[in-house]
Amino acid sequence: METPILEMKSITKEFPGVKALDNVTFSVRRGEIHCLVGENGAGKSTLMKVLSGVHPYGTYSGEIFIEGELQKFNGIRDSERAGIAIIYQELALIPELSVYENIFLGNEVTNGVVIDSNESISQAVDILKKVGLDVNPLTKIKNLGVGKQQLIEIAKALKKKVKILILDEPTAALNETDSDNLLRLIRGLKEQGVTCILISHKLREVLEIADTITVLRDGKTVTTLDVQKDKVNEPILIKHMVGRSIENVFPKREKVKVGKELLRLENWSAYSYALGRDILKNVNISVHAGEIVGIAGLMGSGRTELAKSIFGNPDHYRLSGKVFINGVEQKFRGPHDAIKSSMAYVTEDRKGNGLILIEDVKQNITLANLKEITVGGVINENEEILVANKYCSELNIKTPTVQQKVRNLSGGNQQKVSLGKWLFVKPGIMILDEPTRGIDVGAKYEIYTIMNSLVEQGMSIIMISSELPEILGMSDRIYVMSAGKIKGEMPVEEASQESIMALAVDY
Amino acid sequence: MESLKQTKSETGQTESFLDILKANIGQYFMFIALVVIMIFFTITTDGVFISSRNISNLINQMGYIAVLAVGMTLIIVIRHIDLSVGYLAGFLGAFSAIAMTFWGWPVYAVIPAVMIMGILAGMLTATPVAKLGVPAFVSTMAAGLIFRGALLLVTMGTGTIIINDQVFVAIGNDYIPDINLEGFLPGRHKLTLIIGLIGIIFSIFSAIRSRRTKKSYNFQVPSFGLFVAQLVLISALIGYVAWILSGYNGISWSLVILLLVVGVFQFITTKTPLGRHIYAVGGNPEAAELSGISVSKITYIVFGAMGFLSSLSGIMYASRLHSATTTAGLGFETDAIAAAFVGGVSAAGGVGTITGSIIGALVMMSLQSGMNLMGIDISVQYIVRGAVLVLAVVFDRITRRNQ
């Protein structure tokens, strides 16, 4: 048997508090197209970052062999020298530079001192031909569509004499024609002897193009399948992807009869000017008092965008459709209107847009509802401390005092401060976006318990989550999103990890 | 649960002196630096620096920069910068002069009119920033050029315009009147001393009241000794300043304006929801927006306030010079920005206090005044002031990183 072109042996990578990769073994034959699949957080991207040297040698344990030789990468430059090129979902092109300038960025063709534009351009034309792209090399990148930009990234990699090309969800942002083009190109590269590793959630396209598929789950290799020999199909893949161990125990909740409808969306669509495409398409959902509605879907399926578009649309999408709160149609001009209509939104990214890290616990908790503690135009700071103390003890926030800066708290406690802040506005509808991301099991359980007691009091909760066990363990009803659409709705009793995943990967 | 409550009441709201010092080291440091600078110049000038006359002058000279520094603090807190304030102040000063001298407007109409113009100009400058996300650097630089042109335009025919209105001129040059107490403390400004005394009594009473309210909430308060020490320190400070000022002409109208501005802005920033919202927008604009705070509204308000303070600055400066000149306002924005940064404002946003910036303005003005008295050449003065600015900011970064 020939030596594999790439072999990663017993790779283990730990982040504070999380084992992102646990003894992963990954082997790629020369000249094949090898797909890497798994849920969000399964460890695919981390594995590729280890391979490309983003996580340098020494920060992980295990060994990487390329063509049988042990490699110790200290950075991307080292891995590039070994013939590895990685193309991320977020393209690394400079929009204001031209196509040829981007292709040669960092490796400019010079005559010693000055850039030789003519030589660069003529080389660029050849390279562009290889990826089957017919554009003027002088065109600025920003004037090209995402599909073409993707191809230019590949052209850039090819220029560097790449042996192993890694593509991280290359078709996620592409339309069908562009996707087909890209897949055809990858097949073409295979014929030229380039080995490809492809990360993708689109199982149909994976099955269409892959020679071999490796499935990761919870940072471990589940299996490596030969598409032809093992007769792989979608259900088999999904089964391997999910089957995730349910390590969290979910607190029991008395199922109450659901109350009246608090929120309804009708034909809700959104267009993002920033991305230049539709991000939500004809979403229809309904949420009742006393229930937890889970919104499942992969990252990028439009879940967070859905939450933000309802919550006063701070990103200024172009919206169409109707939103009803308590049966009355509402047109929010901003988050303040949504808050007035008794909504709350605990964001996915508590550090980025949830909390003000340089301010203290009490200031964060009262920020969205200062009027409650303001008398005659003046904030009553003593009342503020009382309010903050109350939420600290109710939510068991561990902080020496409420004057502690939020950035000094642990992730779980920060998340509880976020919750406290939004409970203080006394909402009727609460949107929780990835409420337990990056926090430990104990804090998770506490947050689940709080959620249960809130819905028992008649609140309705919309929970967005990437973790299927959490969706299944906490929701009463589940919507599954994919590509900005609601792909399915089911009561939790009829849902399984497999059935949700099948909808989530349905593009 | 029970044990958690225990630890909470133990550590509770007590703040030991050391904790307070540690948490506020940046601000106390600048205060200490100010005292050191003042002592240094007092020694090198044989006491001339700390004389009543010099301190009084120093404060009057500082007034029109200090009011700008107050506004600039808020601008930088919300992560922006305003380069237009110098020429806005200059233009509004010239406008007042023209309105009074050529159009015969009464001074009591001119001042409010100019203030409204300042607010509108600030909000207009803010519009591209708030609505389109144009960098404030560009928008305010453009506005500064426009105001500079406007200043030249209105003074084109006449050059320097002399202001004769007594009330207007008093703003920058005169002092509050004194009361006549025959034979009691001759050579001292009695009303200044009385106001100082009232200030001391007021601060003692409000401190006692706040301590009592805190106790009624069952919050722990600093130990009685520390509390008394704080009160003694503050009283001594107010008393000393009043005593020095009373030795010359007493409290100037400039100082009255400055104290009012500081008082109002300190109150707004520390006690009201608007103040909270300003700091929240500076600390994390996205989080603030999602908390129902309109970032663009706050931007308008802060730039509007800056425009208002620019109008005050322009009035104070024109009044002090008895005239409007073609170069009025030149470099004011630099001085105001420097004062704010020396006073501990962070360009990263969300951090910085009004009182800190006033201390920063005092530091910069003391350096200038002290070096003038020592006869140090202006060239060296600029170098020293630049060095102090960079040192203050470097120190600020280091202490912040250590936290």
Q: pLDDT at position A247, please?
A: 55
pLDDT score recorded for residue B187: 83
A396: contact with B, CB 8 A cutoff: yes
**Out of A26-40, A239-253, A486-500, B263-277, which region has the weakest mean confidence (pLDDT)?**
A239-253
For residue A82, pLDDT over 60 is answered with yes
Among residues B110, B140, B109, B79, the alpha carbon closest in space to that of B280 is found at B79
Do A377 and B280 make contact, defined as CB atoms within 8 angstroms? no
Complete edge-to-edge strand list for the sheet that includes strand A84-87 = A84-87, A164-168, A195-199, A33-37, A212-217, A220-226
Q: Is A398 on the interface with B (CB under 8 A)?
A: yes
pLDDT at B117: 97
My answer on whether B237 and B260 are in the same domain is: no
Quick one: B119 and B243 in the same domain? no
Indicate yes or no: CB of A359 within 8 angstroms of CB of B279. yes
Pairing of strands A33-37, A195-199: parallel
Q: Quick check: is B385 in a domain?
A: no
Same domain for B154 and B79, yes or no, is yes
Above 80 in pLDDT, residue B83? yes
Question: What band does B6 get if pLDDT is binned at 50, 70 and 90?
Answer: very low
Q: Give domain status of residue B229, yes or no.
A: yes
Q: How many CA atoms lie within 13 A of A214 on its CB side?
A: 24
- What's residue B3's pLDDT? 36
Residue A380 reports pLDDT greater than 70: yes
Three-class secondary structure of residue A34 per DSSP: strand
Chain A positions touching B213 (Cβ under 8 A) are 382
> How far is the C-alpha of A59 from the C-alpha of A14, rounded, in Å?
8
Q: Identify which of A79-83, A243-247, B328-332, B395-399 has the greatest average pLDDT.
A: B328-332
Q: Is the pLDDT of residue A42 over 90?
A: no
Q: Which of B329, B351, B373 is the last residue of a domain?
A: B329
Residue B170 covered by a domain: yes
B143 and B109 fall within a common domain: yes
Q: How far apart are CA A290 and CA B87, in angstroms?
A: 60
**Residue B349: closest CA among chain A residues belongs to which residue?**
A358
A1 touches chain B (CB under 8 A): no
B73, B149: one domain: yes
> Which chain B residue is nearest to residue A367, measuring alpha carbons?
B291
Confidence check: pLDDT of B8 > 60: no
Average pLDDT, integer, range A305-328: 94
Task: Check whether A393 has a pLDDT greater than 80.
Answer: yes
User: Is B244 within a domain?
Assistant: yes
Note the pLDDT of residue B402. Answer: 59
Residue A416 has pLDDT above 70, yes or no: yes
| pLDDT at position A70 over 60 | yes
pLDDT higher than 90, residue A161: no
Does residue B266 lie in a domain region? Answer: yes
Structure-token pair, residue A327: 């049966």
Task: Mark whether B159 and B275 lie in a shared domain.
Answer: yes
Nearest chain B residue to A397 by CA: give it. Answer: B4
Which among B304, B329, B354 is the end of a domain?
Answer: B329
Q: Evaluate if residue B78 carries a pLDDT over 70.
A: yes
Both B131 and B186 in one domain: the answer is no
Give the chain A residue nearest B284 (alpha carbons).
Answer: A356
> Range of B226's domain?
175-251
Residue B401 is predicted with a pLDDT of 67
Q: Are residues B274 and B143 in the same domain?
A: yes
CB contact under 8 A, A353 and B280: no
pLDDT at B204: 95
pLDDT band with cut points at 50, 70 and 90 for residue B26 = low
Of B307, B329, B351, at which residue does a domain stop? B329
B134 and B196 part of one domain: no
Question: Are A163 and A83 spatial neighbours (Cβ–Cβ below 8 Å)?
Answer: yes
Quick one: B215 and B314 in the same domain? Answer: no
- In this prediction, residue B27 carries a pLDDT of 59
Rounded to a whole number, what is the distance in Å from the CA of A425 to chain B's nearest CA?
A: 10
CB contact under 8 A, A400 and B351: no
Interface contact B284-A401, CB threshold 8 A: no
**Per-residue pLDDT at B179 exceeds 60:** yes
B277 neighbourhood in chain A, CB within 8 Å = 370
Region B112-134 average pLDDT = 96
| pLDDT tens profile B374-385 | 999 999 999 999
Position A17 pLDDT exceeds 70: no
Q: Which of A357, A367, A398 sits opposite B291 (nearest CB)?
A: A367
Residue from the list A312, A314, A374 with its beta carbon closest to the beta carbon of B273: A374
- Give the β-pairing of A378-379 and A374-375: antiparallel
* Inter-chain contacts counted by CB atoms under 8 A, chains A and B: 96
Q: Are B124 and B106 in a shared domain?
A: yes
Number of independent structural domains in chain B: 2
Interface contact A453, partner B, CB < 8 A: no
Two structure tokens written together for A136: 């003027």
Return the H-helix or E-strand segment holding B397: helix B378-402
Say if the Cβ atoms of A389 and B292 lie within 8 Å: no
CB contact (8 A) between residue A356 and residue B287: yes
**3-state DSSP call for residue A346?**
strand
Cα(A363)–Cα(A365) distance, rounded to whole angstroms? 6
A378 contacts on B by Cβ (under 8 Å): 271-272
| In-domain check, residue B70 | yes
Please name the member of A314, A374, A398 whose beta carbon is closest to the beta carbon of B290.
A314
B184 or A458: whose pLDDT is higher?
A: A458
Q: Is B339 part of a structural domain of the chain?
A: no
Mean pLDDT, to the nearest integer, of B97-126?
Answer: 96
In this model, does residue A45 exceed pLDDT 80?
yes
Which of B7, B219, B284 lies closest to A356 in CB terms?
B284
- Beta-carbon separation of B272 and A378 below 8 A: yes
Residue B22 is assigned to a structural domain of this protein? no
Residue A215's contacts (CB-CB under 8 Å, 6 or more residues apart) are A37, A38, A221, A222, A223, A224, A225, A237, A240, A241
Looking at the fold, whether B182 and B168 belong to one and the same domain comes out as: no
Residue A69 has pLDDT above 50, yes or no: yes
Contact flag B13-A377 (C-beta cutoff 8 Å): no
| CB nearest to A385's CB, from B11, B13, B290 | B13
Chain B CB contacts of A311 under 8 Å are 290
- Reading phi first (left if > 0) and then psi (alpha if -120 to 50, else beta), residue A53 is in left
Per CB-CB distance under 8 Å, the chain B contacts of A379 are 271-273, 276
Predicted pLDDT at A1: 59
pTM value? 0.83
User: Does the structure show a pLDDT above 80 at A50?
Assistant: yes
